[in-house]
């Protein structure tokens, strides 16, 4: 069975989704979803072990050899992403039943879990596949379920946010489709491995240049890279808390993965970074993303919106690391992908707990919560510190690598700007801390209690991970470095 | 143009025209699908949606300048990109000489199905088609969550009278439809099982099958149709289609092949391929039919439920 | 060059008409129609690539030497299904938006959201 792990990774949640329809009873469906997600998590650990021990795994679907059939190709980068997605999904699910009991009507619970599993499937499918068109199909599975999940939010603005996301997302996907079509036109193949060997022959043509541009713009729409980020804040704010926690921690990471996969593996380093001014372009966009989004975050009164903007800023850091295009830079990006998933997972889950107890995440409602929900607020504070990049948290590790990468290249001004950007995070985190700890309790809210255990356990698992991987960096750095090196073709 | 019905009809005509174009381009399977989807289902859904959202556009706020710039840049880039493309219809273009020849030359020996599109769709790239079935399933679940059925407080008698008044008068249409529906269903079955030899397959058959049911619902009233086709049952059917597809893959996995490797399903690889394709096409057909019916029932049902609730409030 | 590529240029124009409708119009139904046109044009683009001079439909028969490329056909079959799935979901959202906001004009919806804040 071990040889079938790559496909099991995707089809276990996939087949579980229709089974949910047969189970029907919400608590049962929840338990089932949780078990399936844990199973996927175990599979991803096994996959990572296999990859680290024996190198890239190739799995031919339908028994047809690539490029005629579709193949799954798992290297260190894929395995790393699969691990992040399944881990976050499992932890978030622990809190799901409690959280949605207040946010989603009961008759929709079964459908919620079905969509959740489909969304998980979509993301895993994108990451696992080695076929460019298959990426598009699974991208749509994850997007369609994402639109429906976001629209489940209680506020009517969730509907509008979801519609905007749908329009932007579909434009993005269609751009990717055009890009893939042009690529196919010039090479006659859809397999990524095959593409990477056949593209250099035609790299000088205008068609390949345009195809690259379309794929990259399409991915950036999905990634919410500044200035294409407009759909993200509303979508994250009005979606149900569990959905926000899951997507904030995983969805943009998948887009980052696609960006790396297409520019490093498919088109190749020399094409992406020498033929095109991608380096300077992404550097500028990344930096402006950090500043614009961080400043916007400072002015938000809804905490979910605040952290949504902070997500856009964090994407900026990942993009800056990417634009350095060295092994260290890419390692920093991958580390930040991992670390940001941990931070935002913890933060949005904690906000979910606040939502559960108070029914709102407006800044003014946080008054005095530091005493009433000490454990939840402590988690938010640690998550916030991690976001800033304080030593002993994961945020520090990835920023440290990012600064190293920049200094290696002698890009001092950029390094200074990165540090300045982090200071902006101090401002928006501090605003929350100030209200929660130094303001008296609101009248009429004295009865607010600490969040239930079903919230606290997953929140603190993530917080502990934030601290653990901030101190013991061996595991995460080793995997991220292996992934980065394999992309640069350096043997570890 | 302010009248949305006209807009939607034009979009439908565009779909039909592109289907004609696909025939001219030798893509008969695609044409079949586009005709049933672009000119059929999607137009129908848009019309139903318009009955609920209002048929005329109110305030026209355009952002022509910015949009125009974006569009011109994108279009210019694309035209620029086409400059180095192989010419239209070129025999020696990369896509004609690299991957495709194996499909054309060897699929008869390897899969044993004359329709190459079917063998690529169902076997070589069977996983894409699995993904496609899942996409449709996702859409069905999405519509279910977005437009849940609003339950009427009154009993079924009220529904009956409503239906009588609405649907009694079209006697001739009803009789013609009664004759037509079995024929449509028969045609759907033909398309379902003839996909190996001619254009057609699970998806097209599913759409036609759903069309028959939708036609029935339109003429005899939604409530009657809902009673004929149980809601829970149709949801099970949608899930069952995906599961059927998946279990074909799982069985081939257990028989020692890779996922969706049909050759191991039977002692003779070609027979195995045939069996596998038959089963997965059934799975696709099942899911597509049920999802299309679910989508239509929930759109149209939403409208009738709203109307009824209004009447109850007044009455 | 004009003869060899004109087909693609027409497709590009069609695509851009659809794309323009999506981003310029405020009515949600029109946006969805635009999206459909945009996607359908991309389908035409793919199918044009598959055509071979003198080829026929890729269904094997005796006495035919040259077939059009079946692979883009397969891809587009999948893409059409994805397209209708997206359209259905978008329309469902539109119906809900109409119920919640009483309008399907982008402008009105944003006005109402701003008032609520």
Of A163, A177, A184, the CB nearest to C28: A163
Neighbour count for residue B108 (Cβ, 10 Å): 14
Length of chain C: 117
B191 to chain C nearest CA, in Å? 15
| Partners of chain A (3+ Cβ pairs below 8 A) | B, C
C80 with B33: CB under 8 angstroms? yes
A422 with A455: CB under 8 angstroms? no
A407 to chain C nearest CA, in Å? 42
CA distance B92 to A22: 51
Size of interface B-C (CB pairs under 8 A): 263
Q: Across residues C65-88, what is the average pLDDT?
A: 91
Compare all CA atoms of chain C with the CA of A154 and give the residue at the minimum distance.
C100
Helix (H, G, I), strand (E, B) or coil at A264: helix
pLDDT at B63: 66
pLDDT at B154: 46
B-facing residues of C in 29-88 (CB < 8 A) are 29-30, 32-33, 36-37, 40, 43-44, 47-61, 66-78, 80-88
pTM of the model: 0.94
Summary mean pLDDT of chain A? 90
pLDDT at B142: 94
CA distance A224 to A318: 12
Q: B-chain residues within 8 Å CB-CB of C53?
A: 89-91
pLDDT at C1: 58
> Per residue in A82-121, pLDDT tens?
999 999 999 999 999 888 888 888 888 999 999 999 999 9
In chain C, what's the furthest Cα-to-Cα distance?
71
Q: Across residues A215-220, what is the average pLDDT?
A: 93
Cβ-defined contact of B89 to C53 (cutoff 8 Å): yes
- How sure is the predictor about A1, in pLDDT bands with cuts at 50, 70 and 90? low
Q: Is the pLDDT of residue A441 over 90?
A: no
CA distance A169 to A163: 10
**Sign of the alpha-carbon torsion through A219, A220, A224, A228:** negative
- How sure is the predictor about A48, in pLDDT bands with cuts at 50, 70 and 90? very high
pLDDT at A492: 41
- How sure is the predictor about A442, in pLDDT bands with cuts at 50, 70 and 90? confident
Of B78, B144, B236, the CB nearest to A111: B144
A267 with A212: CB under 8 angstroms? yes
A316 with A290: CB under 8 angstroms? yes
> Per residue in A401-425, pLDDT tens?
999 999 988 888 899 999 999 899 9
Cβ-defined contact of A188 to B243 (cutoff 8 Å): no
Domain chopping of chain C, boundaries: 2-52+66-116
Q: Is the pLDDT of residue B22 over 80?
A: yes
Compare all CA atoms of chain C with the CA of B139 and give the residue at the minimum distance.
C85
A424 with A291: CB under 8 angstroms? yes
- CATH classification of C2-52+66-116, choosing from 3.40.50.20, 1.10.287.3510, 3.90.1150.10, 3.40.50.2000? 1.10.287.3510
Pick A251 or A271 by higher pLDDT.
A251
Q: C-chain residues within 8 Å CB-CB of B25?
A: 47-48, 50-51, 68
A330 with A260: CB under 8 angstroms? yes
CA atoms within 13 A on the CB side of B168: 6
Cβ-defined contact of A19 to B243 (cutoff 8 Å): yes
Of A63, A68, A188, the CB nearest to B95: A188
């Amino acid at each position: 069975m071990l040889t079938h792990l790559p496909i099991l990774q995707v089809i276990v949640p996939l087949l579980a989704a229709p089974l949910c329809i047969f189970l029907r009873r919400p608590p049962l469906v929840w338990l089932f979803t949780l078990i399936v997600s844990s199973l996927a998590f175990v599979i991803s650990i096994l996959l990572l072990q296999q990859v680290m021990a024996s190198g890239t795994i190739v799995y031919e679907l339908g028994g047809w050899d690539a490029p005629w059939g579709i193949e799954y190709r798992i290297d260190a980068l894929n395995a790393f992403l699969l691990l992040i997605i399944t881990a976050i999904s499992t932890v978030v699910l622990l809190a799901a039943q409690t959280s949605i009991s207040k946010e989603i009507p009961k008759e929709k619970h079964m459908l919620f879990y079905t969509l959740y599993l489909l969304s998980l499937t979509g993301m895993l499918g994108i990451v696992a596949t080695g076929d460019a068109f298959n990426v598009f199909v699974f991208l749509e599975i994850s997007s369609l379920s994402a639109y429906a999940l976001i629209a489940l939010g209680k506020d009517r603005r969730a509907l509008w946010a979801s519609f905007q996301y749908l329009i932007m997302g579909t434009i993005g996907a269609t751009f990717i489709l055009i890009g893939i079509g042009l690529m196919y036109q010039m090479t006659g193949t859809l397999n990524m491995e095959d593409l990477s060997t056949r593209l250099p022959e035609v790299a000088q043509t205008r068609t390949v240049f345009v195809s690259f541009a379309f794929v990259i713009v399409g991915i950036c729409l999905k990634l919410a890279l500044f200035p294409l980020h407009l759909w993200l804040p509303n979508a994250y704010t009005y979606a149900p808390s569990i959905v926000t926690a899951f997507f904030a921690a995983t969805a943009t990471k998948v887009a980052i993965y696609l960006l790396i996969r297409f520019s490093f593996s498919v088109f190749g380093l020399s094409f992406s970074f020498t033929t095109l001014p991608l380096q300077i372009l992404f550097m500028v966009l990344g930096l402006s993303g950090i500043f614009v989004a961080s400043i916007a975050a400072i002015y938000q009164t809804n905490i979910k919106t605040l952290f949504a903007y902070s997500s856009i800023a964090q994407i900026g850091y990942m993009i800056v690391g990417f634009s350095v295009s060295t092994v260290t830079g890419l390692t920093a990006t991958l580390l930040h992908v991992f670390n940001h998933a941990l931070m935002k997972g913890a933060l949005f889950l904690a906000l979910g707990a606040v939502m559960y107890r108070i029914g709102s995440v407006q800044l003014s409602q946080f008054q005095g919560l530091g005493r009433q929900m000490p454990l939840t607020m402590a988690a938010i504070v640690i998550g916030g510190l991690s976001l800033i990049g304080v030593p002993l948290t994961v945020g520090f590790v990835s920023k440290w690598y990012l600064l190293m990468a920049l200094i290696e290249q002698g890009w001092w001004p950029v390094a200074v700007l990165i540090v300045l950007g982090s200071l902006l995070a101090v401002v928006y985190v501090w605003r929350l801390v100030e209200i929660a700890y130094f303001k008296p309790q609101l009248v009429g809210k004295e009865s607010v209690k600490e969040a239930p255990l079903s919230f606290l356990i997953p929140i603190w698992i993530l917080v502990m991970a934030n601290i653990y991987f901030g101190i013991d960096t061996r595991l995460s750095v080793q995997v991220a470095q292996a992934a980065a090196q394999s992309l640069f073709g350096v043997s570890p | 143009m302010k009248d949305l019905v006209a807009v939607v009809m034009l979009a439908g005509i565009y779909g039909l025209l592109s289907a004609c174009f696909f025939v001219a381009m030798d893509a008969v399977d695609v044409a079949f699908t586009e005709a049933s989807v672009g000119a059929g289902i999607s137009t129908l859904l848009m019309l139903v949606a318009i009955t609920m959202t209002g048929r005329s556009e109110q305030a026209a706020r355009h952002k022509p300048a910015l949009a125009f710039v974006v569009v011109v840049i994108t279009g210019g880039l694309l035209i620029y990109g086409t400059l180095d493309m192989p010419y239209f219809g070129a025999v020696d273009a990369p896509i004609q000489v690299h991957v495709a020849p194996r499909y054309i030359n060897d699929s008869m020996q390897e899969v044993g199905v004359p329709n190459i599109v079917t063998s690529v769709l169902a076997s070589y790239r069977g996983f894409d088609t699995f993904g496609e079935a899942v996409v449709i399933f996702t859409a069905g679940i999405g519509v279910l969550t977005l437009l849940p059925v609003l339950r009427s407080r009154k009993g079924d008698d009220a529904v009956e009278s409503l239906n009588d008044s609405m649907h009694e008068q079209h006697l001739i249409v009803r009789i013609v439809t009664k004759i037509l529906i079995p024929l449509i269903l028969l045609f759907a079955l033909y398309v379902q099982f003839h996909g190996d030899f001619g254009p057609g397959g699970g998806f097209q058959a599913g759409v036609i099958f759903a069309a028959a049911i939708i036609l029935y619902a339109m003429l005899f009233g939604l409530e009657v149709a809902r009673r004929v086709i149980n809601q829970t049952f149709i949801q099970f059917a949608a899930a069952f289609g995906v599961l059927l597809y998946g279990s074909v893959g799982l069985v081939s996995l257990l028989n020692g092949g890779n996922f969706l490797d049909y050759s191991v399903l039977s002692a003779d690889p070609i027979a195995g391929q045939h069996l596998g394709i038959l089963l997965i096409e059934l799975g696709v057909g099942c899911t597509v039919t049920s999802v299309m019916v679910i989508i239509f029932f929930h759109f149209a049902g939403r409208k009738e439920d709203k109307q009824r609730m209004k009447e109850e409030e007044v009455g | 060059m004009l003869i060899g590529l004109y087909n693609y240029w027409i497709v590009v124009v069609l695509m851009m008409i659809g794309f323009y409708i999506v981003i310029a119009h405020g009515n949600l139904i029109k946006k969805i129609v635009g999206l459909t046109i945009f996607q359908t044009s991309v389908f035409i683009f793919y199918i044009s690539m598959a055509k071979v001079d003198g080829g026929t439909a890729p269904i094997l028969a005796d006495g035919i030497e040259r077939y059009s490329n079946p692979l883009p056909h397969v891809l587009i079959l999948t893409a059409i299904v994805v397209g209708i799935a997206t359209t259905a979901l978008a329309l469902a959202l539109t119906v809900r938006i109409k119920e919640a906001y009483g309008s399907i004009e982008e402008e009105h919806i944003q006005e109402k959201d701003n008032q609520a804040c």
